[in-house]
Structure 1
Amino acid sequence: MGSLRLGSGVVLCLALVFTVLALATPAWIADPISSVGLFKAQSGGVSGGVIKRDAEKVAIAFVVLAMISLLTASILVIIAAKVEEKDKLGKIGGASAVVAALFLLVAMATYTGLTKDLVDAAPTIKWGYSYALGWVAFCLAVIAGPLAIFAK
């Protein structure tokens, strides 16, 4: 059994969980009393919808593509770790993880570029934990993808 490949499969599952949490939680941009996500905004105890600008549309599209790629990658890498003669599946899963990392990079970088002025405009507005989860998921996919490709 390939323990290195199994470890990368677990890391890919963790990246998938972080990606789902980043997409679903409403804290991409936050200040002390409110937060804005991709789908929902909260102010105090009241929540409402978000007007979807280009930043939100691009982020949603590429994060969903990354989730599909991460799900595929985790399944293939874990199968390849359990069955030793399925080495080709591990390489395909690793490549899928690298593609997911590229999707996450496009989503996060585009969102950052299109909303940077909003965050820089006021000293109380900060990047939220959902935004951080997206970047952490990207880092995990970048690490686990090549690891799954080159693991034996």
Structure 2
Amino acid sequence: MCGGNKLICSKSDNVMGVGHIIGIVFFVAALATNIIAIATPGWLYSANAAVGLFQGLTGSTAVEIVRAAAENAAFAFSIIADVLLVVAIVAAAVASATDPVGLVEKLAGVMGILAGVSIMIGMAVYTGLRIAAVDFFLISWGYSFALGWASFCLALIGGIVALI
């Protein structure tokens, strides 16, 4: 693998570098948290209700919600981010096995950063359009909302790690 001397190994001699593994872990974590954020009804909470992007809960009864601009923006940018994260995961895995120059690795990093920016835009639009309700009524941000912001951080960190 490294010839006889383990101190003189080139990047192409390593099957999978630590940066690739860390980048893939961050990308997979970002993808998972973003999917959970999209699918769960915990974006906003009040005393007896929870609202998500697709459904709400009143007590223990699930109700379908009419999506407004905030929900549509968060959903659209999250889906774009999920596609970018899948591309980043595949590119990081391919780069670890076949990319001695590092171009595919850079592609993985850029896709991860773009995914983070996409999530950030969707979350920022949702936050901006819902902040008045949170401030005025007795409503608080929920766990799905927090997972959305966490996926932004994970994607951005993964992209930076993949570029380094």
Q: TM-score, normalised by structure 2?
A: 0.86
**Deviation by residue 1:20-46 (Cα, 9 ceiling, x = unmatched):** 000000110012321000000001111
Which entry has the higher C-alpha Rg, 1 or 2? 2
Q: Which has the higher contact order (CA 8 A, sep 6+)?
A: 1
Match of 1:89 in 2: 104
User: How many equivalent pairs are there?
Assistant: 149
Aligned partner of 1:17 in structure 2 is 32
- State the 1:86 CA deviation: 6.3
1:85 Cα deviation after fit: 2.4
Which deviates more, 11-20 or 72-81? 72-81
Aligned partners of 1:62, 1:84: CA distance in 2, in Å?
30
Following superposition, the deviation at residue 8 of structure 1 comes to 1.1
Q: CA deviation at 1:84?
A: 5.0
Residue aligning to 2:82: 67
- 1:26-45 map, 5 Å: 26-45=41-60
- Alignment check: 8 A CA contact 1:35 1:41 kept: yes
Gaps of 5+ in 1: none
Distance in 1 between the 2:54 and 2:111 partners? 27
* Runs of 5+ unmatched residues, structure 2: 1-15
Cα distance per residue 1:105-127 (max 9 Å; x no partner): 1000000000001111123x110
Instruction: Give the root-mean-square deviation of aligned CA atoms.
Output: 1.3
